[in-house]
Structure 1
Amino acid sequence: MRRRSLPGDPTLLLVLGLVLVVAAILVVRGQDARPDGAASTSADGQRGDTAPTSPAPTSAPTDTSGRTKGKKRNQGNPPRLDIKQQGKKQCVAAGADTDITVVSYNIKSGHLAGSLSRIAQLLRDSGADVVFMQEVDQRRFASGRVDQPAFFADALDVSYAYGKNAPYPGGGGIGNLILSRFELTEVSNSLLPRPAGTVQRGLQHAVIDVDGTEVSLYNTHLQNANEPARILQVAAINELIADDPRPRVLGGDMNAPPGSAPMNALTTRWSDTWLAAGSGGGRTAPAGAPRARIDYLLHAGEGLTPLAADVLPIRLSDHRAVRAAYALTDPRDPICFQKLG
């Protein structure tokens, strides 16, 4: 006779128990394999929840200070990232690069131009943000007494600073001029050594604010036909700028070719922009058929990179003008965020 299995039978209870154990194991495995990833494992092997993350910033905050703006490079794109590791954080520079165009021009008091307006038009067409001018005077000009510094500032609608070095009897004088579409926040003029028989020269200095970064501008005109005087003047210039921590540009008529003693002394503190970014010989004098390179733009300091340099083929003086473009990197206000992983 076949034996029936009853509810109280121990064999049936054993089978039911095994079924329940298997079902429980399957339920647990199903929870670990959930597609929503509610549980995760950290780098140290401990289980835990993953916090939500925010995307890293990709552009600098808008500047509402009202400062005169530079020409931003790569507008509409994220700024170039300069990532520095700080523990578990990443920091990126918020500022983009700004292009600055600088021109240096010895105008010979405008006597060869026919009119000052022609020089002003040349400077306007050059796209210059900053202009260094030498041999700018305040004496009687062709059509009467003209304040040349004020004339050029008004014609170009820019800020200016004039450094008079050699006064004329009865008023006026001759000196150097800085024109800038950026506001000039500091201005000074230092007289340079003047050996006997030479004309008084000076080093003009101005500071501009370019989108929150200070840049120093230096303008000079070294003695002609007297190399010992130029050597003394260069030594004084290097001493005057020794403690300036800003990015800086020096322009002027140096009356000395590359490789000469005055230029060798200058380039111990400055880099020759033409050698970094110029094309051709860079010769500027005489204007009709240039044979000598005696007008320069030099640069120094961190954050200032030469992009290009050329000589403007205009004959409105006994010199031609030299022009250069620089990229100024804004190092302020880095953006820091938590490093992931």
Structure 2
Amino acid sequence: MKIIFFVSCHFLFCLLFGLSILGLSTPVFGQSGVKVLAYNIHHANPPSIPDSIDLPAIAKVIKNSGADLVALQEVDVYTQRSGSGLHQAKMLAEMTGMYFYFERSISFQGGEYGNAILSRFPIEEKEKLQLSSAENTEPRAMLVVLVTLPDGEKLKFASTHLDFSSNTNAANQARDITAYFEKETLPLIMAGDFNAVIGSEAIDQLDRHFTRTCQEDCPPTIPVIDPKKAIDFIFYRPDTEISVKDHRVIHETYASDHLPVIATLVW
């Protein structure tokens, strides 16, 4: 009976059972790494081809990156310029085989324009934080989701896009974010286009509460041709549980006006 049971058991159970007998630790997903992508997609408009939309090019970048979690900015949903029938976040999720969450930051051209999250893991909870905006500036927001990794680790993941028109406004929005996460106890990863450079008030505010996947040597992300500034970042906490395996910029110069940033985080 014992032999029959062993042969007929589920392969994964047998593997884990065998490892335990041998005294080996079972594999943990977080130890092999979670890949995170920050990507301002410029509503899928290739800068070299004005008034065009090439969503498959964005999907290709995402798929080729191997990302598990993706923070997207400048996403169009049912807008005139991108197509009144096109939900870019939903279509990207279908093209990449991922789950998605989109919320508008503003109404635009008969549709919506804002941030999105793509996740290889089911999205269990989702929330939008409206960020403070000075009068006559474009409203900005942050999206937050809860996912569970295959090893059972729960994780909060956020996508945001700060204001570019005012350093003061961006700093205030950074304070909104740190206040929102002040009492958060779960591991957290946040990615996006922060429209601010290292040493600015906004990034200094975030640096006091989170750790960046790159430090002073962050490779630049804009413009895509001969980039000069790093304004797209990935933050995480706590640094006592999470560490950075690698951080790099993907030098894809056609699909968007920002270079995507990818980092692998391990537990």
Q: Is 1:283 aligned to 2:258, yes or no?
A: no
1:142–1:168: structure 2 CA closer, same or farther, 3 Å change rule? closer
Deviates more, 1:205-214 or 1:133-142: 133-142
Match of 1:103 in 2: 37
Q: Any idea what the Cα deviations from partners look like across 1:30-77, whole Å, max 9, x if unmatched?
A: xxxxxxxxxxxxxxxxxxxxxxxxxxxxxxxx987xxxxxxxxxxx99
Q: Normalising by structure 1, what TM-score?
A: 0.66
Q: Residue 140 of structure 1 contacts residue 146 of structure 1 at CA under 8 Å; is this kept in 2?
A: no
1:281–1:212: structure 2 CA closer, same or farther, 3 Å change rule? closer
Q: Hey, what's the Cα distance between the residues in 2 that align with 1:247 and 1:310?
A: 22
Q: Hey, what's the Cα distance between the residues in 2 that align with 1:142 and 1:196?
A: 28
AA of the residue aligned to 1:108 = H
Per-residue deviation, 1:303: 2.2
Q: Hey, what's the Cα distance between the residues in 2 that align with 1:197 and 1:140?
A: 23
Structure 2 unaligned spans of 5+: 1-10, 14-21, 48-52
Between Structure 1 and Structure 2, how many residues are aligned? 239
Residue of 139, 156, 161 corresponding to 1:200? 139
Deviates more, 1:290-299 or 1:267-276: 267-276
- Aligned to 1:274, what secondary structure does the other structure show? coil
Per-residue deviation, 1:194: 1.0
Per-residue deviation, 1:237: 0.4
Please report the RMSD computed on the Cα atoms of aligned residues, expressed in angstroms: 2.2
Q: Normalising by structure 2, what TM-score?
A: 0.84
Per-residue deviation, 1:142: 4.8
1:95–1:285: structure 2 CA closer, same or farther, 3 Å change rule? closer
Determine which structure has more spread, i.e. the larger CA radius of gyration: 1
Q: Hey, what's the Cα distance between the residues in 2 that align with 1:124 and 1:135?
A: 19
Structure 1 unaligned spans of 5+: 1-61, 65-75, 81-93, 329-341
Identical pairs, percent = 24
Which structure dedicates a bigger proportion of its chain to helix?
Answer: 2
Match of 1:296 in 2: 233
AA of the residue aligned to 1:182 = F
- Aligned to 2:170, what secondary structure does the other structure show? helix
1:207–1:192: structure 2 CA closer, same or farther, 3 Å change rule? same
Match of 2:69 in 1: 130
Match of 2:25 in 1: 79
Per-residue deviation, 1:181: 0.5
Residue of 246, 253, 273 corresponding to 2:186? 246
Q: Is 1:305 aligned to 2:243, yes or no?
A: yes
Q: Hey, what's the Cα distance between the residues in 2 that align with 1:199 and 1:77?
A: 57
Match of 1:235 in 2: 175
Match of 1:175 in 2: 114
- Aligned to 2:142, what secondary structure does the other structure show? strand
Q: Hey, what's the Cα distance between the residues in 2 that align with 1:78 and 1:298?
A: 33
Per-residue deviation, 1:192: 0.3
Q: Any idea what the Cα deviations from partners look like across 1:239-287, whole Å, max 9, x if unmatched?
A: 00111111111101011100111100111100011129xxx54100011
Q: Residue 76 of structure 2 contacts residue 82 of structure 2 at CA under 8 Å; is this kept in 1?
A: no
Residue of 197, 202, 205 corresponding to 1:262? 202
Q: Residue 109 of structure 1 contacts residue 136 of structure 1 at CA under 8 Å; is this kept in 2?
A: yes
Q: Is 1:161 aligned to 2:161, yes or no?
A: no
- Aligned to 2:63, what secondary structure does the other structure show? helix
